[in-house]
Amino acid sequence: MRSLDDFAAAKLAGLERADLRRALVDTTRLDGIWALRNGRRLLSFSCNDYLNLSHHPAIKAEAIAALEQYGIGSGASRLVTGNHPLFAALEARLARLKGTEAACVFGSGYLANIGTIPALVGARDLVLIDELSHACLWTGARLSRAKVIAYRHCDLTQAQALMAQHRHDHERALIATDGVFSMDGDLAPIAALAQLAQRFDAWLMTDDAHGIGVVGGGRGSTFAGGGAPHVPLQLGTLSKAIGAYGGYLCATSSVIALMHNRARSFIYATGLPPAMVAAALAALDLIGDARAAVEASRLLEAEGYLVVAIRPPTVPEGTARLRFAFTAQHPDAEIERLADIVRDRILAAPAAADVRGGGG
């Protein structure tokens, strides 16, 4: 034991000298934006709860109801204890949002990545990965035992050159990238990567942890350009904009069935607690609901504002929204009042509509 402690202490000392040692700091999230730390109330800009749904009353109510009905834990792996009906509902909702045949919910986004990649590629295969991809993509790629080659961040020219150089040496090839990069905030060139993948018979996989609920009408980075490039493997998390917990893969039915049989982080991991599944399902139903958009439009009209609700088929199902078009003559005071109403009476309502801005 002494040698173990000495090893740990030496490593920690090295991190300390480089100003890289991390420590947990007791912090209480008071609501969506305020936190309590060291006795001070701080406005937090360090949380991925982008839509503040983790504190939304309707979502909390659904989680509480599920907890009361189904208990706290799920009991075991979904293959052992059985597939709770809430999982089927959530996976169907995710697949519909992402435009795929099916979906598979994992215990977290990290588990989704480290399970999916090794289930698809192995020692004779190639993984081409953006150098700034999240650690979970890197971990999944390395666990697969495939040849892993990084290309410069969003550098399509180098990605193409590397694929041309190495593709013929490998049986299968996977291109892996974040959809929205969490540190720089930029989007991957998904449409161009999809074309590159098709040209070299490779599979494109995007991790949309920071895109779902935020870009592409809430559907994520694959839809950010207005179209829908061919992305056969769409992963993400339920713990950021969705406000709950868990991860997912959206793909074809055959790929999802393969995950049930080969993804170790699915097979050997306990399923999500029912309350978390219910919360995620409620959040997805809340975002872009057509009825909520219409009700919000009526509320604004009663307050003296004309803001039309945009609903399917003009926009995809599940992405109904209010579209605001601002012009140079709109009074600043009225814009501020409008923003207050949207924040306090629409976004905080039990069924909040999606909100999109447009230039005028």
Number of domains in the chain: 3
Give strand pairing partners of 29.
Answer: 35
Distance CA 56, CA 10 (A): 45
Distance CA 77, CA 84 (A): 11
Strand order in the sheet with 354-359: 309-310, 321-326, 354-359
Residue 93 in domain: yes
C-alpha closest to that of 97 among 15, 17, 274, 217: 217
254 plus 240 within the same structural domain: yes
240 plus 141 within the same structural domain: yes
Q: Which helix (H) or strand (E) holds 341?
A: helix 332-341
Q: Mean pLDDT: which of 95-109, 226-240, 306-320 is highest?
A: 95-109
Residue 242 in domain: yes
166 plus 253 within the same structural domain: yes
282 plus 294 within the same structural domain: no
Residue 74 in domain: yes
The CATH number covering residue 153 comes to 3.40.640.10
Q: Is 302 helix (H, G, I), strand (E, B) or coil?
A: helix
Residue 67 in domain: yes
Residue 351 scores a pLDDT above 60: no
Q: What is the pTM of this model?
A: 0.83
pLDDT (tens digit per residue) in 119-164: 999 999 999 999 999 999 999 999 999 999 999 999 999 999 999 9
pLDDT (tens digit per residue) in 46-69: 899 998 899 999 999 999 999 999
Beta-carbon contacts of residue 55 (< 8 Å; ≥ 6 apart): 31, 32, 49, 243
CA 32 to centroid of chain Cα atoms: 18
349 plus 304 within the same structural domain: yes
24 plus 92 within the same structural domain: no
Cis before 274? omega within 30: no
Residue 334 scores a pLDDT above 70: yes
Range of the domain at 205: 57-286
70 plus 142 within the same structural domain: yes
| % residues pLDDT > 70 (the chain) | 95
Q: What is the pLDDT of residue 1?
A: 66
**Average predicted confidence (pLDDT) for the chain:** 92
C-alpha closest to that of 176 among 124, 135, 215, 229: 135
Residue 257 in domain: yes
183 plus 297 within the same structural domain: no
Q: What is the pLDDT of residue 343?
A: 85
C-alpha closest to that of 281 among 76, 61, 32: 61
13 plus 72 within the same structural domain: no
Among 286, 309, 334, identify where a domain stops. Answer: 286
| Per-residue tokens: 42 | 């701080």
Residue 298 in domain: yes
| Per-residue tokens: 14 | 């090295």
294 plus 281 within the same structural domain: no
Residue 52 in domain: no
Q: What is the pLDDT of residue 348?
A: 67
Q: What's the rounded mean pLDDT across residues 176-190?
A: 94
173 plus 272 within the same structural domain: yes
Give strand pairing partners of 28.
Answer: 36
227 plus 297 within the same structural domain: no
Residue 138 in domain: yes
pLDDT (tens digit per residue) in 228-250: 789 999 999 999 999 999 999 99
Distance CA 330, CA 326 (A): 7
Q: Please list the helix, strand and coil fractions of the chain in percent, rounded to the nearest 5, in that order.
A: 45, 20, 40
